[in-house]
Structure 1
Amino acid sequence: MRQIVIPEFGDASVLELREAALPEPGEGQVRVRVASAGVNPIDFKTRSGQGFVANAIRDHLPWVPGFEVAGTIDAVGAGVDGWQKGDPVVGMTGFPRAGGGYAEQTLVRADELCRAPEGLKLEEIGGVPLAALTAWQGLFSHLGLQPGQKLLILGGAGGVGHFAVQFAAQHGAHVVTTGSGANEDFLHQLGADDVVNYEQEDVHDVCYGLDAVLDLVGGEAGKAALSTLGEHGKLVTVPTVTAQAIKDLAAEKGIQAAGYVVEPDTDQLEEILALLNRRDAELHISAAFPLGDAAAAHRRQDDGHVRGKLVLQP
């Protein structure tokens, strides 16, 4: 079988397509023939040697990236109940250290998987788990978002952001999000009430008294968004590289702020898949790439401004 490996940290050109022996599932594992694997910012940050995953794997290169897949089970290990060959599945895989999604076939813990609904395409929904769970957990586990609250999402058109806009709107929040002029119509179609065009205005000049901020951008944008919160408002930030700086500034100002890292959760993922299957939310695929074009996918992601998700289709 073929897989993409990171032999050393660097730019997208370091990614290599290699032949590997077909892995056999161990206790509690299944082998999945991958129909789609999501490409996420954490993948290219890890490839470039940044972040907590890179620190964890730097002595274990070469390493296969990819933390979300969809496909069909083609082998079942000992001790696995409820799954059999041919079952369509989707889930986060190997997070945060094992990875393995950028491959034609990969080993996954059986308890990390959900059954893929018949109405969703396996060639696409590998782009759902990590991004959608990041949005879901940020909104509901960490912000405790309530209907009627005013929420700002920084970066609403991206992979996590386009899910967050939809989930928050479905939940009855008043959704404000930042985006480029080219994405304004897209964001309104997803359910955003207001779009702040960051090319023309600063969010802290037009937003104030908000209940919650979901920061998917980090850095100076995350710091600036602190001033949009009301007295009891809270910000949660996703990019781990700048999370501490944002939390430190928030503490100086007496503002609630926290960082978080997504966690695999099949119960939450099943709720999300049900929303998608009912067409109450949608996955937007900006582009799909063959496995051998993983470097091109990373360059596209590196350039930023990706609308929705990128996927590999082995």
Structure 2
Amino acid sequence: MRAVVVRRFGGPEVLEIVDVPVPEPGPGEVRVRVAAAAVNRIDLSTRSGALTAAGLLPPAPEVWLGWDVAGVVEAVGPGVSRFRAGDAVIGLRDVLPAAGAQAERVVLEQAALAPAPRTVSPVEAATLPLIGLTADRSLALTGLAAGQTLLVTGAAGGVGGLVCELAAARGIRTVAVAGAADEPEVRGRGAAEFVARTDRLGAAVRRLVPGGVDAVIDAACAGVAAHAALRGGGTFVALVAPYAPPPLRATRVVVQEVYADGARLAELAALVDAGRLTLRVARELPLAEVATAHELLAAGGVRGRLVLVP
């Protein structure tokens, strides 16, 4: 089977498509025939060596790419009870030494998988696992209840857009930050207030929410600029550790770390089917054009996800 691998760090030119043996599922594992696999910024950080340099990925002669997957169960290992061959599934590969999800097949633990949403295509479904679980966990870490206020930076992006929808469903008043042209999009996804991207973010938000918001989810890595919009004693959720500001003014600063939670992913898939979460695909590309996907994502300005189809 074909899979995407990196044998040396660098730009998109280091990406290789190689032939490897079809993996066999072990106890508690499921082999999925991949229908679609999204490309995420963590793939860019993996390819460039940034994750390894930061101590977040151990050095290895080969690094396999791809976290998100949508596909069909092809085989199951001993002890698997939740899935059987032919089931349409989605899943998240977080820590696994074997081939990643950007491949023709991938083996995952059954706990990392969920039934695929029924109302969207596999290409759309492949965009949900990483950003959906990240958005959901980030919102949970804020501890907010209905009526409280939340600032979301990067609200037009994958994680930020889903945060807006999840927060609106819980009655949380969201202030969304994005480019000026994105205002209709983020308001349509549940944001109550909008602030165009600015260097004086704290002042702009405090004009809308005197005293500051109760919590911040910093999907755009604005760091201390977004922290300036937070009230004393509030909660700041960072998605990337180096951009987490110090806990000034008795605030609580936490770094969200996503993990493969198949049970919660199933609940998010049900929200997709209920029309309460929106999945956006910017472009579909064949697996052989993985380097093009990296170039497009690195250039920025992509609205929606880039998805590889083996």
TM-score, scaled relative to structure 1: 0.91
After TM superposition, list the pairs within 5 Å mapping 1:174-213 onto structure 2: 174-198=173-197, 202-208=200-206, 209-213=212-216
Counterpart in 2 of 1:106? 106
Cα distance change of structure 1 residues 207 and 56 upon mapping to structure 2, 3 Å threshold: closer
Counterpart in 2 of 1:133? 133
Cα distance change of structure 1 residues 54 and 61 upon mapping to structure 2, 3 Å threshold: farther
Give distance in 1, aligned partners of 2:56 and 2:156.
30
Task: Please tell me whether residue 145 in structure 1 is matched to residue 144 in structure 2.
Answer: yes
Unaligned runs of 5+ in 1: none
Unaligned runs of 5+ in 2: 207-211
CA contact (8 A) 2:158 2:304 kept: yes
Q: What is the deviation of 1:52?
A: 6.0
Once the two structures are superposed, residues 36-88 of structure 1 have per-residue CA deviations (whole angstroms, 9 ceiling, x without a partner) of: 11211111111111136973545323121111111001122222223221111
Count matched residues.
305
Q: What is the deviation of 1:233?
A: 1.6
Give distance in 1, aligned partners of 2:130 and 2:96.
11
Give distance in 2, aligned partners of 1:53 and 1:13.
19
Counterpart in 1 of 2:61? 61
Q: What is the deviation of 1:32?
A: 0.5
Amino acid at match of 1:151: L
Match of 2:271 among 268, 272, 275: 275
Give distance in 1, aligned partners of 2:289 and 2:275.
30
CA contact (8 A) 1:137 1:262 kept: yes
Give distance in 2, aligned partners of 1:266 and 1:53.
30
Once the two structures are superposed, residues 209-261 of structure 1 have per-residue CA deviations (whole angstroms, 9 ceiling, x without a partner) of: 2011001122xx21111111123321110012333xx1x3x24x432211121
Counterpart in 2 of 1:299? 295
Give distance in 1, aligned partners of 2:278 and 2:107.
27
Task: Please tell me whether residue 70 in structure 1 is matched to residue 70 in structure 2.
Answer: yes
Cα distance change of structure 1 residues 108 and 285 upon mapping to structure 2, 3 Å threshold: same
CA contact (8 A) 1:56 1:97 kept: no
Aligned residue for 2:82, secondary structure, equals: coil
Give distance in 2, aligned partners of 1:227 and 1:57.
32
Amino acid at match of 2:41: P
Q: What is the deviation of 1:24?
A: 1.5
Match of 2:257 among 258, 261, 270: 261
Counterpart in 2 of 1:157? 156
Q: What is the deviation of 1:292?
A: 0.9
Counterpart in 2 of 1:225? 226
Q: What is the deviation of 1:273?
A: 0.8
Aligned residue for 2:63, secondary structure, equals: coil
Amino acid at match of 1:238: L
Aligned residue for 1:138, secondary structure, equals: helix
Give distance in 2, aligned partners of 1:297 and 1:53.
23
CA contact (8 A) 2:178 2:195 kept: yes
Cα distance change of structure 1 residues 49 and 147 upon mapping to structure 2, 3 Å threshold: same
Give distance in 1, aligned partners of 2:204 and 2:96.
37
Amino acid at match of 2:284: A
Once the two structures are superposed, residues 98-146 of structure 1 have per-residue CA deviations (whole angstroms, 9 ceiling, x without a partner) of: 5611101111112211111322322221110111110000001x11121
Give distance in 2, aligned partners of 1:162 and 1:61.
36
Any runs of at least 4 consecutive aligned residues in structure 1 with deviations exceeding 6 A, and if so which? none
Give distance in 2, aligned partners of 1:97 and 1:260.
23
Cα distance change of structure 1 residues 53 and 294 upon mapping to structure 2, 3 Å threshold: farther
